[in-house]
Amino acid sequence: MNAPEFISEPIKLTGEFLGSDSPARGLVAVPAGFVWRDREFRIVELLSKEKHSSPEGGKAGNEVYLRREYLTVRLDDGREAVIYFERQSRMGQNPKQRWFIYTITDADTMHDP
């Protein structure tokens, strides 16, 4: 399997979500699709979900905050992608832009021995 292509670009969700109890547990719901580089992709399978936490910066104490949630998904064209949700918007960025595509792996290279 070849290494995934690093992207880290914003995506726009299609507005639909896959059935999940994640929001009830305070986690992000799995989007059913997104638009990236003017092309719509449908998510057909959630392969894994990972949370990244870190201490609160600049303050004393041991408080740890959930910063990002990474989802590894299979797309309708056969590729695998890692998308992530930032729990807090980036400084100086659109506060509504919190979803990004992190990596993508071509379908024809995913199953190479």
Total residues found in the chain within this entry? 113
For the stretch 55-84, pLDDT in tens is 776 566 677 777 889 999 999 999 999 999
pLDDT reading at 110 higher than 60: no
Residue corresponding to tokens 């299609």: 14
Task: Please report, for the chain, the start and end positions of each structural domain, with discontinuous segments joined by +.
Answer: 5-109
pLDDT reading at 112 higher than 70: no
Q: Per-residue pLDDT averaged across 20-46, rounded?
A: 86
CA pair distance 41, 43, nearest whole angstrom: 7
Residue corresponding to tokens 């799995």: 30
For the stretch 90-107, pLDDT in tens is 666 676 789 999 999 987
